[in-house]
A and B are shown apart, each in its own frame.
Chain A
Amino acid sequence: MSNASLDAIAAKSDQPFPGAPNNWRRFFSFSTDHKVIGIQYMVTAFVFFLIGGLLAMVMRGELITPEADLVDRTVYNALFTMHGTIMLFMWTFPMLNGLSNYLVPLMIGARDMAFPRLNAAAFWLVPVFGTLLMASFFVPGGPSQSGWWAYPPVSLQNPTGNLINGQVLWLLAVALSGVSSIMGAVNFVTTIFRMRAPGMGWFRMPAFCWTVLSAQMIQLFGLPSLTAGAVMLLLDLTAGTSFFDPAKGGDPVLYQHFFWFYSHPAVYVIILPIFGTFSEVFPVYARKPLFGYRFVVVSSVIITVLSAMVWVHHMFASGTPSWMRMLFMFSTMLISVPTGVKVFAWVATVWGGKLRLDTPMLFALGGLVCFLFAGITGVMLGAVPFDIHVNNTYFVVGHFHYVIYGATVMGIYAAIYHWFPKMTGHMYYEGLGKLHFALTFIGVNLNFFPMHPLGLMGMPRRVSSYDPEFAYWNVIASLGGFLLGVSTLPFILNIVSSWVLGKRAPANPWNAIGLEWLIPSPPPVENFEEIPIVVSGPYGYGSNESLVSNNPAGELISEHS
C-alpha cells in the first residue's frame, strides 16, 4: 500500500458530506453521520465526567476528616446528588451510546444507523438536559439534595417554596434523558435487526453488537418506568398530587418500585457494552478466538431477561415481605451465572494465548479483575441477611464503584484506546497510555476497596460527617480519589496530542479481525464503498478464513490483499 494512495483515501474520508466543514468544526455542527455523532456523544460525556469527578474530589476532601468542615451539609448533599446524576445520566449512558453509535454500523457492515436524524436529535438532547441539570446550581436553594434516587418524601421537601427549584430541574433533566435514551434504543435495535450486512447471521455478529442489542432492549422495557416515576414525582412536587406523599395518603415505597424497576437494570445497560468491549479486546491482544462465543452472546440475552427480575433487592430493608425478599434474593444471585459464563470465557480466551500487553489489553484485564471482585460482593449483597446489615452503607458504594469505575470506566478506556486509531486516523502514545492505566488501576483500588471495610463496620453512605473509627479507611479512600483525578491528566494529554500530532494510523494497526478494520482509518462517509458480504464468524484468529468474500474498502483492500 503506497502512502500516496493512503493519503488519497484519507482525504476522501475526511469529507462528511458535500458542503460540510472538513475539519474539527464538523464535530460541533449538526451531522447525521453516526461516526460524528458518536464522537460528539463521547466528547460531551467526557466533559461531564470531568465535572462529576471534580464534585467527587470535593466530597473526598470533605471525608478526609470525620467532621463536616470543608463544605456545609447542604453543599455536600448537593455534591453527592449531582455527582451520581452526572456520572450516570451525563457520563456513562452518553459515553456508551457514543461508542455504540460509532462502532455498531461499522461492525455490522451498515452505512449508517437506521434513523440518522433521530440519532442526531437524541444526541442534541444531551447538551440540553445537561445544561438544565447544571443550571440548578444557580437557582435559589441550589441543586437537588435528595440523592440520585430522589426518594420521596425528602425529594418533595421544598424549603425555598419556589416553583422552579433544583429538584424540578433534576426531574425534567432525568425525564429528557429518558426520552433521548429511548430514541437511541429504537435506533440501535432497528439498526441491528435490519441493517446487518449480507451473510452476517446472528451468530456471525460480533459480541459487542449483541451486548449493545441486549442493553438497548433493557432501555426499551425499563425506561418508561423511570420516566413515569419521575413525572409522577414532578406532579407531586408542583401540582399538589399525592402519588408518593405520605402526608396526603401517598405511598413513598411505590416510588422505589418505579425507580428500581429501571435503575437496577440500568447497571446492565452500562455494563453490557463493557462486556462487549472485553469480548472484542481479549481476542485481539491474546491472538485467539473468543472462547465459547455462542455461550457468551446468549448469556447477554439471559442477563437482559433476568435484569427485569432483580429490582427489589434494593428494597430488602424497605418493609418488603419475606416471600418477596426470598424470590428476589434467588433471582439476584441467578444473574451471576450468565455473568460468570462471560468471565470464565474471557479467562479461557486469554489462557494459552500470545499476549500483547498494549494499553487496551491492560485496561481490559484491569477492568476484568475489578468486575470479578464486584461480582463476588454483588452475590454477597444478594444474600438477604447480609444485605440487611450492609444495605445503604459504604459496602454498597464500594461494590457499585468497582462495577462503575473499576469495570465500566476502565472498559471505556480500553475501548477508546483500542478504537482510537480507527476513529481519529492517528496512533496514541503507548507510554502515556500505560502511565494512565497504572494510575487508574492503583487509584481505583485505593479509592474503592476501603469502602468495603467501612461498610462492614457500619458507615452509612451519604454522610458528610462520621464517627472517628471510620477515619483511617476514609483517608486512604480520599487519597485514592485524588489519584483518580490525577490519572485523567495523562489520558487527556495523550488523546489531545496524539489526535493532533500522532503518527498516522493504518487501516488495521492491531492486526484485528472485524469489518471495521477492513476500511481506512478514519472510515469514509458511509463507511463502505461496497457493502461487505460476510462469510465467516467474527473471531477467526489462528484459522485461515476470510471474513468477507468481497472488498468493502475498494481500492485499499485490493492493494492490501
Chain B
Amino acid sequence: MTTPTTPKKPRSLSFRTVAQLVALAIADAAVSLWVGRQAYLWMPPQASAEAVLVDDLFGFLTTIGSFIFLGVTTALLYSVLFQRADKYDISDGPPVEGNLLVEILWTTIPLGLVIWIATYSYQIYDQMAILGPMEHMNHVPQLGLMPSAEAATLPAVPERTPIEVHVRQWAWEFHYPDQNIVSTELHLPVNERARLKLISEDVLHGFYVPAFRVKQDVIPGSTIDFGFMPIREGRYRLRDSDYSGTYFAANQGVVVVESEESYQQWLADAAAQPLTEADNRAFREFTKLGDRPISAGWKTVEPAPPPRVNFASSEEDSYE
C-alpha cells in the first residue's frame, strides 16, 4: 500500500515566486500576441469585408488559445522534466486534495473568458450581417434581402436584381436575370454588396468562397437569400462545402471580382455570346470510365448534362 508522508502545512507564496509567475505570464502573453498576429497569414486573401472581420476574430481567438495552451503545457512539461520520482523512491507526493480559492478562480476566470469571447463573436457577427433574413424560406415570392438593422458598418444593399445561383449534381450556374445571361463563372463588382439567390435543384450543397470567409448551405426546396461584400479584385475559388454525392470534390467554380467598368463590359460581352455547352468535370469523368483508379464498379447517380451557358471557363482555370 501507499507509504504515508507527513502532511505539510501549505506555504504562502513568496515574493520571488509571485515575481516569477508574473514574469512567466508576461512572457506567455507576449508569445501569444505574436502567434495571434501570425494567424492572419494562415488565411486565404481577404477578399471581402466579412473576411477582415472574421480574421480579426480568429486572431483574437488564437491569442487567447495560445496563452492557455502554452501556459498549461509549460506547467506539464516542467513537471515531467523536474518532478520525477527517483528510481527507488516509492513514497507518495504531498496529499493536496484541493484548494477552494484556486478552484473557484479557475472556474470563474474561464467563465469570464467565455462571456468575453461570445460577446466579441456576437459583435463581429452583428457587423457581418451576411445573410439578410436567416431563415431558409419555401416559395419566396420575391427576394426580401434587407440590410440588418444592426449592420451599421456595411453599406446598404444596392438596387440590382440578385444573381441566381443554381447548383446541382454537379455544376454551378449563375443567372443574371436583367441581362438574361447564364454563366459558369460568377462575376461581381468590387466594393458593392453582392446579392445572391441560392437554389439547389437536387440535394444539399454549400456555397463557399474561402477568400470571402462566407458559407451557406443551399437547401433543396428553398430559395435562400445571401449577401456579402467583395472588396478586392481578383479570381477566387468557389467550392461546394456540403457533401453532395459521388462527384462532390469536382463541384467547383470561379468567382471574379472586378471593377464596375470591367463588370459592365463582361455583362455586355457575355450577353452577345450564344449558348454553348460548358466544360463539366463530373460529366467528363462519368463518361470517360476505366482509367487508373481502383474501381469496384458501383453504380452512381448520373451527373446532370453540362450546362449550356453564354460564358464558360474551364474548371481548371486559375484563381487565387
Write the residues of chain A forming the contact surface with B, with a CB cutoff of 8 angstroms.
Answer: 68-75, 77-78, 140-142, 145-147, 149, 151, 153-154, 157, 159-160, 246-247, 249, 251-253, 286-295, 317-322, 325-326, 329-330, 333-334, 336-337, 340-341, 343-345, 347-348, 350-357, 365, 368-369, 372-373, 376-377, 379-380, 382-386, 388-389, 391-393, 453, 456-458, 460-467, 508, 511, 513, 539-544, 561
Contact with A along B234-245 (1 / 0, CB 8 A): 000101111111
Q: How far is the CA of A337 from the CA of B110 in the complex (A)?
A: 6
Please list the 6 inter-chain residue pairs (A to B) with the smallest Cβ-Cβ separation, ordered nearest first: A458-B210, A542-B95, A319-B136, A246-B221, A463-B249, A354-B85
- Cβ A340 vs Cβ B110 within 8 A: yes
- Cβ A392 vs Cβ B206 within 8 A: yes
Given contacts A291-B96, A373-B69, could you give 20 more A-B pairs where the C-beta distance is less than 8 Å?
A: A69-B293, A72-B293, A249-B221, A253-B219, A287-B2, A288-B96, A289-B95, A292-B103, A293-B98, A322-B125, A336-B114, A341-B107, A352-B96, A354-B89, A369-B73, A384-B125, A389-B213, A458-B237, A462-B243, A541-B93
Which residues of B212-256 are within 8 A (CB) of A? 213-217, 219-222, 224, 237, 239-250, 252
- Cβ A462 vs Cβ B248 within 8 A: yes
Contacts of B95 in A (CB 8 A): 288-289, 540-543
| Interface segment out of the listed B21-29, B185-193, B269-277, B296-304 | B296-304
- Cβ B73 vs Cβ A384 within 8 A: no
Whether B153 is near chain A, meaning CB under 8 Å from some CB there, is no
> Which of A78, A249, A252, A333 meets B204, CB within 8 Å?
A252
Contact with A along B83-109 (1 / 0, CB 8 A): 111000111111111110011001100
- Cβ B213 vs Cβ A317 within 8 A: no
Contacts of B2 in A (CB 8 A): 287, 511, 513, 540-542
- Cβ B217 vs Cβ A318 within 8 A: yes
Contacts of A333 in B (CB 8 A): 114, 117-118
Contacts of A465 in B (CB 8 A): 249-250
Whether B80 is near chain A, meaning CB under 8 Å from some CB there, is yes
| Interface segment out of the listed B12-20, B54-62, B156-164 | B54-62
> Which of A73, A291, A356, A544 meets B85, CB within 8 Å?
A356
Q: How far is the CA of A294 from the CA of B220 in the complex (A)?
A: 49
Given contacts A247-B220, A340-B110, contact A464 B4 (CB under 8 A): no
> Which of B43, B65, B249 meets A466, CB within 8 Å?
B249
- Cβ B97 vs Cβ A467 within 8 A: no
- Cβ B76 vs Cβ A365 within 8 A: yes
Q: Considering only CB atoms, which chain B residue lies closest to A457 in the complex?
A: B44
- Cβ B107 vs Cβ A352 within 8 A: no
Q: Considering only CB atoms, which chain A residue lies closest to B240 in the complex?
A: A460
- Cβ A385 vs Cβ B241 within 8 A: no
Nearest CB on B from A286, distance (A): 6
Nearest CB on A from B106, distance (A): 4
- Cβ B296 vs Cβ A142 within 8 A: yes
- Cβ A322 vs Cβ B117 within 8 A: no
* Interface size grouping (class) on chain B: 35 or more
> Which of B106, B114, B292 meets A344, CB within 8 Å?
B106
Contacts of A513 in B (CB 8 A): 1-2
Q: How far is the CA of A149 from the CA of B244 in the complex (A)?
A: 12
- Cβ B93 vs Cβ A352 within 8 A: yes
Given contacts A68-B293, A336-B110, contact A460 B69 (CB under 8 A): no
- Cβ B93 vs Cβ A291 within 8 A: no
- Cβ A385 vs Cβ B219 within 8 A: no
Nearest CB on A from B73, distance (A): 6
Nearest CB on B from A78, distance (A): 7
- Cβ A319 vs Cβ B224 within 8 A: yes
Q: How far is the CA of A351 from the CA of B102 in the complex (A)?
A: 14
- Cβ A147 vs Cβ B243 within 8 A: yes
Contacts of A344 in B (CB 8 A): 72, 106
> Which of B61, B203, B299 meets A159, CB within 8 Å?
B299
Nearest CB on B from A191, distance (A): 27
Q: Considering only CB atoms, which chain A residue lies closest to B320 in the complex?
A: A469
Nearest CB on A from B177, distance (A): 23
Q: Mind listing 5 A-B residue pairs with CB under 8 Å? A: A73-B246, A157-B301, A317-B216, A355-B83, A376-B69
Q: How far is the CA of A516 from the CA of B239 in the complex (A)?
A: 54
Q: Considering only CB atoms, which chain B residue lies closest to A290 in the complex?
A: B97
Contacts of B217 in A (CB 8 A): 317-319
- Cβ A329 vs Cβ B118 within 8 A: yes
Whether B295 is near chain A, meaning CB under 8 Å from some CB there, is yes
- Cβ B244 vs Cβ A347 within 8 A: no
Given contacts A369-B76, A386-B121, A460-B241, contact A295 B53 (CB under 8 A): no
Nearest CB on A from B297, distance (A): 9
- Cβ A246 vs Cβ B220 within 8 A: yes
Q: How far is the CA of A159 from the CA of B216 in the complex (A)?
A: 27
Whether B261 is near chain A, meaning CB under 8 Å from some CB there, is no
